[in-house]
Amino acid sequence: MSPQKVVISDQLDRTLAEAIAECEHDKVFVLADETTVECCLPVIEQFECMAGAKRITIEATDTHKNLASLSHVWHDLSEGGATRHTLLINIGGGMVTDLGGFAASTFKRGINYINIPTTLLSMVDASVGGKTGINFLGLKNEIGVFNNAKSVILDTEFLKTLDTENMLSGYAEMLKHGLINDAKMLGELLSFDIEHPDLEQLKRMVAESVAVKQRIVTEDPTEKGIRKALNLGHTAGHAFESFALKHNPVLHGYAVAWGLIVELYLSAIKTGFPTDKMRQTVRFILDHYGKMNITCDDYPTLLELMTHDKKNIAGIINFTLLGGVGDILIDQTATKEEIYEAFDFYRES
């Protein structure tokens, strides 16, 4: 993959103008969803560098991260006269950057794109690392490609537009980064008041969180080895998320937080993760994210959903577990009985 520049910006107008200038282009399109059109797009449409940019709007929420929305973007690019030299700017949360990145990667066999993430989740997770894609047949990110944006521009001023639920959704990925990094980072995350955040402190923490992901992605861009560390909480988390899509959809970060409970328990019983750190993290998650109600009758469905995880090998469910904070153990397995025991722990916590 081509390298990706990540810029934490204090002057969005200048940063975006520089990013656009670095991409040879004949036309500029900007993709946003209905929420971003109202809350965030007006900020950049007034910039001189955006003069003449054509707007593409899709419906909001992850339920529209699908083939229909992707086709709509392709259609508007084609009808708007986009060529192989056109530039697409994606402004929004992870749904927009994932889908927009995939649309750009496949239109005319690939056009350049820039991501401007506007949610905490998209800043620390979805916009960094070159993963693009859509949901398909009720499965998260089932179709997609690895392809880096030319630039990712982070401006934490957009976080002022976020509600608490969406802040918490992104914060779950930051918790994951703390768990796979070191105890100091995790300790600050567990003591930070995310529901009444100090935005200056959060800006520094976002930079640290992005640096953890960038370091891992640079070492393993196509997920052959250590990049699987970023899957912590996601094998169970994606199962929760896909399960919820069929009943009452939940934000990605909430599902990841619940997945962390399951996989930290597996880490405690299988790879020696300290139970005090597990319980401290689980308590933070329960206090802030609550729980999705499941019963024992739901276990087979959740287990079946876990078998669709893209990191599985030969149908065997593949976990990233921890021996301790920062002690990453990839390609771990668990028996059906151990997984059900972890679901029991989740339900009874």
* 18 classed as catalytic: no
How far apart are alpha carbons 6 and 3 in whole angstroms?
10
Catalytic residue among 64, 140, 177, 238: 238
Instruction: List, in order, residues 6 or more apart from 196 with CB less than 8 Å away.
Output: none
SS3 241: helix
* 109 classed as catalytic: yes
* 24 classed as catalytic: no
Q: Quick one: how far is CA 339 from the chain centroid?
A: 24
Residue 80 φ then ψ, to 5°:
-85, 5
Catalytic residue among 90, 147, 231, 318: 231
What does the DSSP assignment read for 181-222? Answer: H-HHHHHHHHHS-TTS--HHHHHHHHHHHHHHHHHHHHH-TT
* 131 classed as catalytic: yes
Q: What 3 state SS string does 170-181 have?
A: HHHHHHHHHHHH
* 234 classed as catalytic: yes
- β-strand partners of 144: 133
Scanning the structure block, which residue is given the tokens 């929760």? 240
Catalytic residue among 64, 65, 150, 234: 234
* 173 classed as catalytic: yes
Catalytic residue among 203, 223, 228, 270: 223
* 196 classed as catalytic: no
Catalytic residue among 140, 173, 176, 277: 173
Q: Which of 206, 160, 191, 178 is nearest to 288 (CA)?
A: 191
* 25 classed as catalytic: no
Catalytic residue among 24, 48, 109, 248: 109
Residue 332 token pair: 């771990």
* 115 classed as catalytic: no
SS3 312: coil
Catalytic residue among 65, 72, 177, 227: 227
Scanning the structure block, which residue is given the tokens 């996989």? 263
Catalytic residue among 252, 270, 277, 318: 252
Catalytic residue among 64, 140, 203, 213: 213
How far apart are alpha carbons 241 and 237 in whole angstroms?
6
* Angle at CA of residue 277, ends 288 and 311, nearest 5°: 80
SS3 116: strand
Residues annotated as part of the active site? 109, 131, 173, 213, 223, 227, 231, 234, 238, 252
